[in-house]
Amino acid sequence: MTKKLNLNNIQALAIDMDGVLWRGDTPLPGLSKFFNFLEKRSIPFVLATNNAGKTPAQYQQKLANFGVALNPENVMTSSLATAAYLKREFNNGGSVYLIGGDGIRQAMRGAGFTVVNDAGRPVEAVVAGIDFNLSYDKLKYAVLLIQRGAQFIGTNGDVTFPAEEGYYPGAGSILAAIQAATGVKPVTIGKPEALMFELAMQKMGSRPNHTAIVGDRLETDILGGQRAGLKTILVTTGVDNEDSIAQKGIQPDAIFSGIDELVEVWQR
C-alpha cells in the first residue's frame, strides 16, 4: 500500500537491515529479487543499520550466505558513524572505553583511537552499543569512567531489535542501565540522528529529495529520514506496522508488507 510517493522519482536508497532484509538468521521474502532489481535499475544503495555489533565485512558474509553479493563499501553502521563523530570531536585521537562487539571496536581503531579494557586510566569517551557478551564488570567500568568525566556516547538508542523468536534487548537497553547508574544522558549517534543519513548520501552522491529510506522502525528509520529530508518507506516485516503509525504519530510516505511487495509495485 503506497501513500504520497512516486517511486520513479527515487534515485538512491538507504536500507535498514534487521527487520527489512532478515530477522535474525532468516532472510525475508524477496531478498535476492530486491537486490537484483536495484542492480538492474542501477539504483545506488547503502545499507544503513543502527546495529553496531558487526563489521561491514561480516554483513557482506551474512548476505553472501543468503546468495547476495555485496561490497562492504555499501554498508554504513552506527559504529562507523560514531567513529566519524568522535574523530570530529577529538581530532587528535585519544582513548575510549567500549561496550560492544567487533563492529565498534574496528571502527574506533580505524579512526585512530586506543581502546581501553578497564577503568584503570582516563579516557575521552565511553562508547556503548549492542554487546552480546555484556557483563557486570563492563557496566561497572563504564559507570566509573563516566563518573570521572568521560563523555558518554551511544551508538544508537534502539531498546530492542527483531529476531526469529521475538524482540531482543538492544543498545538502548544497555544505555539505559548506564544512565540509571550515572545520571548522565548519552549522546546518541545512530538513527534518527542526521549523521548516518548524511554519510550514506555522501557515499551515494545523492540528494535528499531523490533518496528514500527503507526501514521497519518508525522512531528511527522513518523519523530520521524525515528529519534528513528523505522520502520514507516503511516495511511491516520488523518492528512497526500500520497500527503503530497512529500510536507513535509518525507517518511514512509509503507502506509495504515487505521488500517483495515494494519491488512488485516499483516494477509496475
Compute the distance between CA of residue 7 and CA of residue 197 in angstroms, rounded to an integer: 19
Does 162 have pLDDT greater than 80?
Answer: no
- Domain annotation covers residue 63: no
Is the domain of 145 the same as that of 200?
no
Does 1 have pLDDT greater than 60?
Answer: no
Last residue of a domain, one of 188, 223, 247: 188
Domain count for the chain: 2
Last residue of a domain, one of 137, 156, 188: 188
Looking at residue 142, its amino acid is: A
pLDDT tier at 53, thresholds 50, 70, 90: confident
16 tagged catalytic: yes
Query: Active site residue: 18, 221, 240, 253, which one?
Result: 18
Give me the pLDDT at residue 262, please: 97
Compute the distance between CA of residue 41 and CA of residue 246 in angstroms, rounded to an integer: 34
What confidence tens digit (pLDDT) does each residue in 199-212 have? 999 999 999 999 99
Looking at residue 226, its amino acid is: Q
Is the domain of 215 the same as that of 119?
no
131 tagged catalytic: no
Is the domain of 133 the same as that of 230?
no
Mean of the per-residue pLDDT values of the chain: 94
Does 85 have pLDDT greater than 60?
Answer: yes
pTM score: 0.87
Does 171 have pLDDT greater than 90?
Answer: yes
Give me the pLDDT at residue 184, please: 98
Give me the pLDDT at residue 141, please: 98
Q: Which domain holds residue 152?
A: 80-188
Cell triple for 168? 531482543
The average pLDDT across 69-97 equals 92
Query: Active site residue: 16, 131, 158, 221, which one?
Result: 16
The average pLDDT across 101-124 equals 93
Give me the pLDDT at residue 3, please: 57
Rg, C-alpha atoms of the chain: 18
Compute the distance between CA of residue 51 and CA of residue 48 in angstroms, rounded to an integer: 9
Q: What percent of the chain has pLDDT over 70?
A: 99
Does 92 have pLDDT greater than 80?
Answer: no
